[in-house]
Amino acid sequence: MIPGLCSDATVWDRTIAALDGKIDCLVGDTLSDVALEGMAHRILAQAPDRFALAGMSMGGMVALELMRIAARRVTRLALIDTSARPDSFWRGMHRRLANLYVGMTSGFQRTAERSLKSLVHPSTPEDVRGELVGMSIRVGPQAYIQQNLAVLARCDLRPVLSTIDIPTIVVVGKEDRVTPVHLSYEIQNLVRESKLHVIPECGHLPPIEKPHQVAALLSAFITP
């Protein structure tokens, strides 16, 4: 399981708990490298020889880098609320401005709290919101900036999609404002025989917003 930008294992904890021991879960380290490829190599070093892979948001991009590097080691793939495209000009500009703002100001907690409006569905409970803010503060502004730069520097990952020949599911929150549903449709259309699952009343972070639905999808997919 690979977390997204400014996330650690917390973003997967509720899904792992909902799996109730049915699947042996490892959460990859995305906080120790300055490039997506480096994150992918580190996760490969941590992983068993053969494994199923799930990546959310930036973690999905890392998963695609990993598929480019060592596809033979992956048995099944879940891509959750992610994009295979490079950033548009305006999206890239937004990342640069966000990095500039975070680098020049204190009070990262306020930034984390404001970001929830675009990250999660309005119905998301307060305890989940609190976990997300706490996670962002723990990960910290330097990691946020570093990961934004890594995402900015990524190449177009769409060519990787046509090479994927293992069972694949594409999962997306219906109200995702960060990576809208049409980007998941694009991935599903480019990966042979993949299946798309749209989770209603959910934003950009299904593993923590809708852990039971995500756990059910992963359980049925990995242990049919």
| pLDDT (0 to 100) of residue 51 | 97
If you search the block for the tokens 């899904």, which residue do you land on?
15
Element (H, E) at 141: helix 141-152
Mean pLDDT, the chain, rounded, equals: 96
193 pLDDT exceeds 90?
no
What average pLDDT does range 99-108 have in this prediction?
A: 90
Q: Are strands 51-56 and 195-199 parallel, antiparallel or unpaired?
A: unpaired
| pLDDT (0 to 100) of residue 182 | 97
Give me the phi and psi of 70, to 5 degrees please.
Answer: -150, 55
CATH 3.40.50.1820 fits 10-222, yes or no: yes
How large a percentage of the chain has pLDDT more than 90? 96
Q: How many CB atoms lie within 10 A of CB 44?
A: 16
| pLDDT (0 to 100) of residue 3 | 98
Instruction: Give the Cα separation of 41 and 63 in Å (integer).
Output: 10
Contact 163, 71 (CB under 8 A): yes
Contact 11, 30 (CB under 8 A): no
Pick from 150, 121, 145: which is nearest to 2 by CA? 150
Element (H, E) at 56: strand 51-56
Instruction: Give the Cα separation of 22 and 101 in Å (integer).
Output: 43
| pLDDT (0 to 100) of residue 105 | 86
What average pLDDT does range 143-157 have in this prediction?
A: 96
Model confidence pLDDT, tens digit, residues 7-39: 999 999 999 999 999 999 999 999 999 999 999
Domain layout of the chain by residue ranges:
10-222
224 pLDDT exceeds 70?
no
What average pLDDT does range 126-133 have in this prediction?
A: 97
* CA angle, residues 83, 99, 62, in degrees to nearest 5: 30
Tokens of 7: 């996330």
Instruction: Please give the DSSP secondary-structure letter assigned to residue 73.
Output: G
Model confidence pLDDT, tens digit, residues 39-90: 999 999 999 999 999 999 999 999 999 999 999 999 999 999 999 999 999 9
Tokens of 187: 């991935």
What average pLDDT does range 113-122 have in this prediction?
A: 95
* Res. 184 pLDDT band, cuts 50 70 90: very high
| CA 162 to mean position of chain CA atoms | 20
Q: How many CB atoms lie within 10 A of CB 36?
A: 24
| pLDDT (0 to 100) of residue 107 | 84
What average pLDDT does range 153-174 have in this prediction?
A: 97
Tell me the C-alpha to C-alpha distance, in Å, between residue 185 and each of 75, 81, 169: 22, 11, 11
